């Protein structure tokens, strides 16, 4: 067997071996990031909503979103302090509930949180709103205790007990 | 929850593990790939050694393909949501091991030795038995939580298996380590490989019950949570047992494996870093203590610190009452002459290692013939198996399954570390086998069973959860099947 053939086979074998490793990594890539938020309700509906937001006249967008939407619309919710630090939830037009109840979207393991503490949802124009659900210790946006549903600015800290969450792009 | 109505869409959401689709077809494609690679390697070895495609190519390819196919069908039938990667990864490692064992069978030098036997056909047989055991595990172990009932029985079983090699008449002392038992007519068996699985079951069952006591009752001292004296009991008992294994069976690897596995599981169960610190301290104290009076261990440490000196002593046939081994140095030379890209399959001289070239030192052959690039790929394949195991543990819903998966994959990882580290000169050499790759029936069969249990846990973990019973909050807790 010629030297050349053997060299080609040697390098070819290493390439194939690494190809397998790379393919295997590709297969698990989707698994790596743990959990995902499954939306209830059809994807079509969500798509329609997004489309509607895009088609909305720019002026109205200015009014409703305070210029924060469109390109600056938040796409995820990030927990920045507390035991769940680092957790992110993608914002796809769904309501996010926070509290100690086991069926909340974000289950808070926090002595100062109520079982149904607060919820975050998009209003008719897609602006994200935080609402306190009558919690014992209150929900704070920046430093103000919430009394009414309040629009959330990008990056403003929402504090529940020891947990702080933010909306980010 | 009538308040949700203010939102234009009534979307609520659930957080679920990704991977609800079963991905069996991905597994099949990867398995086909994993069978083709060893066949390629087999042809390569034949062309390099004999200038011709080996005559057994078809039968080996079909044999490996058949094993993979049987495994795949069993998974498809009995564990449809199991992890898609474990089976292909294990098949590939097993196939590569078969090829390299066959390659060492072709060596004239090894054939000349008086203990030579054709190892590859036997290894294929062992692999078939291993896959059969995997299928049996998948069929008969419908739910891994059943194992929880046998917590203390598996402890007794594991201890029995560990003590067996010491029983006169049953145990066999082979080259200084007493880890084999003789089965008349069938050859030898390493019960330690099976004890590994039984101990993982026991640790998982025990820690699941006791972890709160171990985690919560502690004092804080210098940034570490110190456990109460009486809670140190279990770790002390396991430590003493592993020291006893070390003293009586002179098997550093198994001892390290069991103690390491317990510390890993203890850490996972309690989230206390102090256990890791304690574990490292205790294993260091134990290893140094035993090495100070056990000559077999001393030789191993000597060979680790100065392999060249051991090599020369062995060559000069110095007779000072201890067996000097030239293998450690030979293995390092094999890795060195492999370089980055290796000499090519069938073209190295790793058969110079002679004894145990196809079992404990098989990684040296990979190192010489596939080079750094090949060994890295092999280690990554092991890493991926361990990653899938840890992933399974994360996804598992019950604490017993979590602990069992982490224990089994931790033991697997430790075993690879102990063998690879030993052969590469990172830690003193111990007589353990590289899972799936090295020649040895017990190891291959036990590791296929281990993969079977992990597949069962991952099937349970990734299976879409059944819809919960109706309750007042059913609207919020309903689970969506994609």
Judged by CB atoms closer than 8 Å, whether chains meet at B44 and A94 is answered as no
User: Mean pLDDT over residues B42-50, rounded?
Assistant: 89
What is the reported pLDDT for A41?
A: 47
Distance CA B357, CA B372 (A): 19
Q: What is the pLDDT confidence band of residue B185, given thresholds at 50, 70 and 90?
A: low
pLDDT in tens, B394-404: 888 888 999 99
**Residue pointed to by tokens 């140094």:** B288
List chain B residues with CB under 8 Å of A100. Answer: none
Q: What is the pLDDT confidence band of residue B482, given thresholds at 50, 70 and 90?
A: low
Q: Please indicate, yes or no, if residue A103 is contained in any of the structural domains.
A: yes
Which among A1, A10, A34 has CB closest to B341? A10
Alpha helices in B86-182 (DSSP H): 86-105, 108-112, 119-140, 151-163
Asked if B332 has any chain A CB less than 8 Å from its own CB, the reply is no
pLDDT higher than threshold 70 for residue A48 = no
Q: Please indicate, yes or no, if residue A111 is contained in any of the structural domains.
A: yes
pLDDT higher than threshold 90 for residue A59 = no
Contacts of A146 (CB under 8 A, 6+ apart): A118, A130, A131, A132, A138, A139, A140
pLDDT in tens, B57-104: 888 899 999 999 999 999 999 998 888 999 999 999 999 999 999 988
Task: List all residues of chain B from 23 to 62 with a beta carbon under 8 Å from chain A.
Answer: 23, 26, 30, 33-34, 37, 40-41, 44, 47-48, 51
What is the reported pLDDT for B218?
A: 65
Tally of domains in chain A: 2
Structure tokens at A64: 């409703």
Contacts of B211 (CB under 8 A, 6+ apart): B269, B270, B399
Residues in chain B: 482
User: Mean pLDDT over residues B442-459, rounded?
Assistant: 93
CB of B473 closer than 8 Å to CB of B157: no
Distance CA A72, CA B430 (A): 59
Neighbours of B219 (CB within 10 A): 9
User: Residues B232, B234, B237, B242: is their CA dihedral positive or negative?
Assistant: negative
Judged by CB atoms closer than 8 Å, whether chains meet at B7 and A30 is answered as no
Nearest to B448 by CA among B461, B429, B457, B435: B435
Distance CA A66, CA B207 (A): 54
What is each CA distance from A25 to A3, A21, A34, B383, B387, in whole angstroms? 33, 6, 15, 11, 10
Domain extent at residue A116: 74-166
Which among A6, A30, A105 has CB closest to B18? A30
Q: Please indicate, yes or no, if residue A37 is contained in any of the structural domains.
A: no
SS (H, E, C) B395-448: HCCCHHHHHHHHHHHHHHHHHHHHHHHHHHCCCCCCCCCCCCCCCCHHHHHHHH
Which among A16, A20, A95 has CB closest to B4? A95
| Mean of per-residue pLDDT scores for chain B | 82
For the whole model, what pTM was predicted? Answer: 0.74
- Torsion, Cα B244 B245 B251 B252, to 10 degrees, reads -60
**Which of A38, A43, A87, A97 best tests the B interface by mutation, with the highest count of B CBs <10 A?**
A38
**Which of A4, A21, A33 best tests the B interface by mutation, with the highest count of B CBs <10 A?**
A21
Judged by CB atoms closer than 8 Å, whether chains meet at A38 and B14 is answered as yes
Q: What are phi and psi of A150, to 5 degrees?
A: -130, 135
pLDDT in tens, B242-254: 778 767 777 777 8
Least confident range from A101-105, B316-320, B360-364: namely: B316-320
Asked if B393 has any chain A CB less than 8 Å from its own CB, the reply is no
What is the reported pLDDT for B478?
A: 56
Contacts of B445 (CB under 8 A, 6+ apart): B126, B129, B130, B133, B193
Q: What are the residue ranges spanned by the domains of chain B?
A: 17-463
| Angle at the Cα of B447 from the Cα atoms of B67 and B270, rounded to 5 degrees | 140
SS (H, E, C) chain A: CCHHHHHHHHHHHHHHHHHHHHHHHHHHHCCCCCEEEEECCCHHHHHHHHHHHHHCCHHHHHHHHCCCCHHHCCCEEEEEECCCCCCEEECCCCCEEEECCCCCCEECCCCCCCCCCEEEEECCCCCEEEEECCCCCCCEECCEECCCCEECCCCCCEEECCEEEEEEC
DSSP codes of every residue in B160-199: HHHHGGGSTTTEEEETTEEEEEEETTTEEE-HHHHHHHHH
What is the reported pLDDT for B455?
A: 94
Judged by CB atoms closer than 8 Å, whether chains meet at A94 and B9 is answered as yes
Structure tokens at A21: 């490793």
Distance CA B1, CA B14 (A): 16
Task: List all residues of chain A from 25 to 44 with a beta carbon under 8 Å from chain B.
Answer: 25, 27-28, 30-31, 33-41
Task: List all residues of chain A from 116 to 155 with a beta carbon under 8 Å from chain B.
Answer: 119, 121-124, 131, 133
**Which of B1, B9, B380 best tests the A interface by mutation, with the highest count of A CBs <10 A?**
B9
């Amino acid at each position: 067997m010629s030297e050349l053939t053997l060299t080609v086979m040697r390098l070819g074998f290493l390439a194939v071996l690494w190809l397998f490793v790379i393919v295997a990594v590709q297969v698990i890539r989707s698994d790596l990031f743990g959990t995902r938020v499954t939306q209830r309700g059809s994807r079509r509906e969500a798509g329609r909503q997004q489309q509607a937001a895009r088609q909305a006249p720019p002026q109205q967008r200015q009014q409703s979103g305070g210029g924060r939407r469109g390109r600056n619309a938040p796409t995820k919710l990030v927990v920045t302090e507390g035991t769940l630090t680092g957790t992110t939830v993608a914002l796809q037009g769904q309501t996010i509930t926070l509290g100690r109840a086991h069926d909340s979207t974000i289950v808070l393991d926090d002595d100062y949180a109520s079982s149904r503490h607060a919820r975050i949802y998009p209003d008719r124009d897609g602006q994200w709103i935080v609402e306190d659900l009558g919690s014992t210790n209150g929900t704070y946006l920046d430093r103000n205790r919430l009394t009414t549903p309040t629009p959330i600015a990008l990056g403003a800290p929402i504090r529940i007990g020891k947990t702080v969450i933010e909306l980010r792009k | 929850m009538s308040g949700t109505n203010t939102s234009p869409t009534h979307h609520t959401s659930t957080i679920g593990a990704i991977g609800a689709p079963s991905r069996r077809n991905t597994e099949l494609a990867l398995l086909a790939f994993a069978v083709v690679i060893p066949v390629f390697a087999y042809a390569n070895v034949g062309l390099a050694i004999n200038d011709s495609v080996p005559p057994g190519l078809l039968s080996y390819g079909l044999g490996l393909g058949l094993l993979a196919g049987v495994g795949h069908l069993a998974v498809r039938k009995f564990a449809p949501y199991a992890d898609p990667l474990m089976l292909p990864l294990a098949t590939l490692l097993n196939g590569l091991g078969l090829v390299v064992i066959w390659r060492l069978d072709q060596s004239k030098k090894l054939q000349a030795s008086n203990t030579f036997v054709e190892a590859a056909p036997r290894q294929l047989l062992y692999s078939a038995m291993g896959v059969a055991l995997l299928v049996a595990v998948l069929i008969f172990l419908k739910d891994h939580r059943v194992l929880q009932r046998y917590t203390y029985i598996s402890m007794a079983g594991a201890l029995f298996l560990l003590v067996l090699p010491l029983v006169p008449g049953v145990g066999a002392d082979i080259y200084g380590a007493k880890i084999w038992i003789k089965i008349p007519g069938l050859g030898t068996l390493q019960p330690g490989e099976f004890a590994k699985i039984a101990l993982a079951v026991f640790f998982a069952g025990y820690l699941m019950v006791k972890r709160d006591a171990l985690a919560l009752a502690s004092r804080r001292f210098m940034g570490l949570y110190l456990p109460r004296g009486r809670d140190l009991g279990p770790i002390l008992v396991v430590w003493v047992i592993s020291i006893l294994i070390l003293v009586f069976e002179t098997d550093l690897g198994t001892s390290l494996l069991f103690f390491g596995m317990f510390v890993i599981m203890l850490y996972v169960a309690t989230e206390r870093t102090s256990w890791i610190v304690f574990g490292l301290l205790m294993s260091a104290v134990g290893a140094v203590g035993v090495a100070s009076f056990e000559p077999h261990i001393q030789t191993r440490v000597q060979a680790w610190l100065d392999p060249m000196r051991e090599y020369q002593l062995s060559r000069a046939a110095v007779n000072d009452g201890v067996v000097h081994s030239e293998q450690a140095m030979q293995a390092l030379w094999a890795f060195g002459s492999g370089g980055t890209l290796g000499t090519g399959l069938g073209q190295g001289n790793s058969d110079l290692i002679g004894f145990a070239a196809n079992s404990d030192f098989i990684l040296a052959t990979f190192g010489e013939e596939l080079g750094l690039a090949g060994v890295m790929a092999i280690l990554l394949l092991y890493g991926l198996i361990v990653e899938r195991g840890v992933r399974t543990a994360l996804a598992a819903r019950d604490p017993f399954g979590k602990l069992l998966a982490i224990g089994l994959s931790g033991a697997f990882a430790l075993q690879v570390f102990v063998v690879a580290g030993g052969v590469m000169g990172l830690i003193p050499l111990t007589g353990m086998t590289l899972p799936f790759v090295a020649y040895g029936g017990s190891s291959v069969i036990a590791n296929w069973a281990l993969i079977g249990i992990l597949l069962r846990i991952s099937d349970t973990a990734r299976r879409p959860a059944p819809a919960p019973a109706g309750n007042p909050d059913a609207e919020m807790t309903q689970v969506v099947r994609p």
